[in-house]
């Protein structure tokens, strides 16, 4: 018969010693403990965050200001001459040239027969009352002609009007002796008379009617006239010197 096996105490004891040694893993040779690991806390870049917030706020402010300005500009724009209070419309046929003095129904004139030479209207600010027959020819080319009574409008107001004209192709400004209102604005077949240079309708008229292709007889005709610019014909001058015919008009770019 087989005998009952008894546990091998030596093995059990050895195993226990092994586990005991493993359990003391926190201790090294000689019973020393390991130093605790250093924990590094990551710092948040508050300076960069604050800078980004400031930049974003500044950009939003600039964008908001630009939107406000665009909205203000668009608020004053008109799509039709009928939207401008006080503006009048007349019917005239273009292409009728006559270098003799002409009697016009409107004052300043807004259409009808006119001189062969047009007054330069490349954003030109005249300090003389340009000959009306030449100015009407400019209207035929799509120009807006702003006139003022020099006895009724101050130098400061003339400067305001000049700011709407100077350097803007298709516009010209001149005094007009005997004008029945302080300021009058003309394009071919259209006219607006106002009392003040601060009247927003002046700019509305100029923005709408300058080179408005469906409202004047000669779309594409140039406003450049260097010879007239160098030596303007004036309303009280002879103004009837031999001049080139309108057939020599060169197209605008």
Point out which residues pair with 191 in neighbouring strands.
Answer: 88, 186
- The two three-digit tokens of residue 187, written as one number: 């394009």
pTM for this structure?
A: 0.68
**Residue 114, domain member (yes or no):** yes
127 domain residue, yes or no: yes
pLDDT exceeds cutoff 90 at 246: no
Q: What is the tally of helices (H) and strands (E) in the chain?
A: 6, 6
Evaluate whether residue 145 is within a structural domain.
Answer: yes
Contact by Cβ (8 Å): 184, 137: no
pLDDT one-digit tens code per residue, 96-129: 999 999 999 999 999 999 999 999 999 999 999 9
pLDDT tens, 72-96? 656 678 999 999 999 999 999 999 9
213 DSSP 8-state letter: T
CATH assignment at residue 134: 3.40.30
Query: Domain containing 171: what range?
Result: 85-233
Contact (CB, 8 A) for 95 and 111: no
In-domain check, residue 109: yes
Q: Which residue did the predictor score with more confidence, 39 or 96?
A: 96
For residue 240, tell me if it sits in a domain. Answer: no
| In a domain? residue 19 | no
**Contact (Cβ atoms closer than 8 angstroms) between residue 183 and residue 195:** yes
The tens digit of pLDDT for each residue in 164-195 reads: 999 999 999 999 999 999 999 999 999 999 99
**Cα→Cα distances 136→65, 99, 119, 175, Å:** 41, 12, 8, 15
Contact 179, 148 (CB under 8 A): yes
The confidence band for 17, taking pLDDT boundaries of 50, 70 and 90, is: very low
Q: Into how many domains does the chain fold? A: 1
Instruction: Note whether residue 8 is domain-resident.
Output: no
Q: Is 126 among the domain residues?
A: yes
């Amino acid at each position: 018969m087989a005998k009952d096996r008894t546990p091998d105490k030596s093995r059990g004891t050895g195993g226990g010693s092994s586990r005991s040694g493993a359990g003391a893993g926190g201790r090294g040779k000689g019973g020393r403990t390991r130093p605790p690991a250093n924990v590094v806390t990551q710092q948040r870049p508050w300076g960069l965050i604050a800078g980004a917030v400031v930049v974003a706020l500044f950009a939003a402010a600039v964008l908001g200001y630009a939107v406000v300005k665009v909205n203000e500009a668009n608020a004053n724009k008109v799509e039709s001459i009928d939207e401008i209070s006080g503006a009048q419309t007349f019917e005239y046929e273009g292409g009728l040239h006559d270098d003799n003095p002409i009697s016009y129904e409107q004052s300043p004139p807004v259409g009808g027969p006119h001189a062969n030479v047009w007054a330069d209207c490349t954003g030109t600010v005249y300090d003389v009352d340009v000959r009306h027959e030449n100015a009407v020819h400019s209207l035929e080319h799509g120009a807006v002609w702003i006139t003022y009574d020099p006895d009724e409008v101050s130098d400061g107001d003339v400067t305001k009007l000049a700011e709407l004209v100077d350097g803007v192709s298709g516009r010209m400004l001149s005094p007009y002796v005997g004008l029945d209102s302080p300021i009058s604005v003309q394009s071919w077949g259209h006219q607006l008379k106002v009392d003040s240079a601060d009247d927003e309708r002046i700019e509305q008229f100029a923005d709408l009617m300058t080179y408005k292709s469906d409202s004047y007889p000669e779309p594409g005709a140039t406003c450049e006239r260097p010879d007239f610019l160098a030596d303007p014909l004036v309303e009280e001058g002879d103004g009837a010197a031999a001049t080139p015919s309108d057939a020599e008009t060169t197209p605008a770019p």
